[in-house]
Chain A
Amino acid sequence: MIEFKNVTKGYEKNASDALKDVSLFIDKGEFVFLVGRSGAGKSTFIKLLLREIEATKGSIYINNYNVANLSKKEIPYLRRKMGIVFQDFRLLENKSVYENVAYAMEIIGKPEKQIQKRVPLALDMVGLSHRINHYPHELSGGEQQRVVIARAIINNPTILICDEPTGNLDPETSYEIICILEEINRRGTTVVVVTHDREIVDKMKKRVITLEDGMLTVDDATGRYGYEV
């Protein structure tokens, strides 16, 4: 569950705000596309969700917790409730596929036994069981993104945030990736996909939230794009 109440974010005093009075509600288990041109405020939206930055005005709720009230020490625990998929993958080159996924569990102190059990399951879910001992540079872009997704869901987040997950992939691979995300969503995880991949958005017929110049202009439940490309 994600809720923005009249959220405004300005970076510098005299510059125009990156987000202007944005209010939105994303329910548990929804699949939402967030679209908009470069500079429309998509990155700011993600950074706010991760509490990398704080809103200038308004309040943000994640799973009914007001994010602004979190102390610095609590932020890591907020992030454990969320999985993040980056456009540029951000895999560790010196670790194998298995180790990259296991890493996310090691960091938060999961026991080795549980790691050995869950990592293969997650890799199976994204269809990468056959690549388990390969290293990132041996994989294609699509395969690397699958590893990232496996890493993002390994700790059972309630929300999966994807920042341009198909930005570096060809259309066919992109579609496969989105299908994996849809499957994850079907199992109950809220999925937010930030993208400007029009083709994918049109194909999926999911809810689309459009940002333009920091303002929420269109929130359409049936997949209509809010601006012309």
Chain B
Amino acid sequence: MKFSSLKTMPRNVVRDTLKSIERNNLMSAASVLSVIAALIILGIFLILTINVAEVTKDVESKLELKVFLQSDYTEEQKTTIEDSLNESALIESVSFESSQEALDKFTVSLEDYAPLLSGYNSENNPMPASFIIRVTDPDDLEAIQTLAMTFKDEGVEYVRYGQEYVEALVTFNKFTNTLSIVVLIVLSVISIFIIYNTIKLTVFARRKEIGIMKYVGATNGYIRAPFILEGTLLGLIGAVVAFLIIRIAYYYILGLVGGNLFLPVDASLASPSVVMGQLAFFFLLYGGFIGAVGSVFAIRKFLDV
């Protein structure tokens, strides 16, 4: 009995659902619009979160640590430091930059202002020699700094890395995550409430039918199905429209910015294919979920016959 009822269900359910959306077109449109509005706002926050996370990751992976040597370091000290750095498992690569190389590099980077440095040569070079260290995991930066600092005054002058940038980014990352979750909850409640009211209208319009269904012996699942389908469908329609709007807007903004994010580090917007994939998945899941939850609440009390 149960299986045969499942088999014939789609035919009636789909027909009833489409009819019902048509009948309540105004409220249905309101529901879809509310889902669209909620998802667009959510989408903006989500893209922000994804991008901040992406930039943070990007910056972290490009981080290097510079161990500056004292101007009067000895060849012996240099070898000792280099060996102990090379032994560390946390370090991916170590390269040495002599003070002459540092000066040359600096001169190149300032080519338009070359006269400024014209007075400097190998005799009075102000640039310190350094080890440039790439790490496998940005979290280990501090440990390596500590390691390098053990040679303080035994060849090492000081150690630097983009500490401030990373910390600021991580804080901002946490902030956007929290903000997104708050926005998600608030907008979800609003959307569920609007869908709940739409489906309640549908349920009310069909209360006579529901009564007959109950007396003839339809199961609660059978009675509930078209309403849940209707709510889910409204949510999904909203999700698809919101996704398209966000997608168009993101590509437009991407075109304007042209990959140039005004950050003091070398980073760009998250690649659209990654963001859009995640967004599409989340939107559909979210839209469907919001619709279904709203419907379940709406029909619950009408089933008590």
Q: Which residues of A are in contact with B by a Cβ distance under 8 Å? A: 50, 52, 72-73, 76-80, 84, 90, 92, 103-104, 106-112, 151, 155
CA separation between A50 and B212, bound complex, in Å?
13
User: A124–B20 Cα gap in the complex (Å)?
Assistant: 32
Contacts of A52 in B (CB 8 A): 305
Do B8 and A155 touch (CB < 8 A)? no
Distance to closest chain B CB from A146 (angstroms): 17
Measured in the bound complex, the distance between the Cα atoms of B211 and A107 in whole Å is 12
B219:A76 contact, CB within 8 angstroms: yes
Nearest-neighbour CB distance to chain B for A11, whole angstroms, equals 15
Docked pose: A78 CA to B305 CA in angstroms? 14
Produce 1/0 per residue, B183-215, CB < 8 A to A.
Answer: 000000000000000000000000011011111
Residue-wise interface mask of B (215-228) relative to A, using a CB-CB cutoff of 8 A (1 in contact, 0 not): 11111101000000
Question: Which of A76, A80, A104 has the most chain B CB atoms inside 10 A of its CB?
Answer: A76
Q: A111-B8, A112-B8 are in contact. Are A79 and B217 (CB under 8 A)?
A: yes
- Bound together, the chains give a CA A80 to CA B218 distance in angstroms of 8
Please tell me if the beta carbons of B212 and A110 are within 8 angstroms of each other in the complex.
Answer: no
Minimal Cβ-Cβ distance residue in B for A52: B305
Given contacts A52-B305, A90-B208, contact A106 B215 (CB under 8 A): no
| Chain B residues, Cβ within 8 Å of A92 | 208-209, 212
Given A90-B212, A92-B212, does the pair A110, B217 have CB atoms closer than 8 Å? no
Q: Which A residue's beta carbon lies closest to that of B7? A: A109
8 A Cβ contacts from B139-169 to A: none
* Complex interface: chain A residues within 8 A of B208 (CB): 90, 92
Contacts of A84 in B (CB 8 A): 215-216
Distance in Å: Cβ of B305 to nearest Cβ of chain A: 6
A-B contact pairs, 12 of them (CB 8 A): A76-B217, A80-B217, A84-B215, A92-B208, A103-B212, A103-B216, A107-B216, A107-B222, A108-B5, A108-B216, A109-B5, A109-B7
How many whole Å from B25's CB to the nearest CB in chain A? 17
**Within 8 Å of chain A (Cβ to Cβ): is B118?**
no
Q: How far is the CA of A90 from the CA of B1 in the complex (A)?
A: 26
Given contacts A90-B211, A90-B212, whether A110 and B8 have CB atoms under 8 Å apart is yes
Q: Which residues of B contact A (CB under 8 A)?
A: 1-2, 4-9, 12, 208-209, 211-220, 222, 305
Known: A79-B214, A80-B217. A109 touches B305 (CB 8 A): no
Query: Contact: B220 with A76, CB < 8 Å?
Result: yes
Across-interface contacts of B9 in A (CB, < 8 A)? 109
* Best-surrounded residue of A109, A110, A112 (most CB of chain B within 10 A): A109
**B12 neighbours in A (Cβ, 8 Å):** 106
Contact check: which of B4, B8, B216 meets A79 at CB < 8 Å?
B216
Across the interface, B217 reaches (CB within 8 A) one of A77, A103, A111, A112, namely A77
Residues of A within 8 Å of B216, CB to CB, are 79-80, 84, 103-104, 107-108, 151, 155
Which residue on B lies nearest to A151, using beta carbons?
B216
Cα distance A87–B47 when bound, in Å? 60
Alpha-carbon distance between A111 and B5 when the two chains are bound, in angstroms: 9
Contacts of B8 in A (CB 8 A): 106, 109-112
Kindly report which residue of chain A lies nearest to residue B6, judged by CB atoms. A109
Tell me the bound Cα distance from A106 to B12 in angstroms.
8
How far apart are A93's CB and chain B's nearest CB, in angstroms?
Answer: 9
- Rounded to whole angstroms, the CA-CA distance of A121 and B9 in the bound complex is 24
Task: Using CB atoms, name the residue of chain A closest to B223.
Answer: A107
A72 to B219, CA, bound (A): 10
Contact of B4 among A77, A104, A109 (CB under 8 A): A109
Give the residue name and chain of the B residue nearest to A86 (CB). B215
Which chain A residue has the least Cβ–Cβ distance from B219?
A76
Closest approach, in angstroms, between the C-beta of B205 and any C-beta of chain A?
A: 11
**In the complex where A73-B219, A76-B220 touch, is A111 in contact with B4 (Cβ < 8 A)?**
yes
Determine the distance from Cα of A72 to Cα of B218 in the docked complex, in whole angstroms. 12
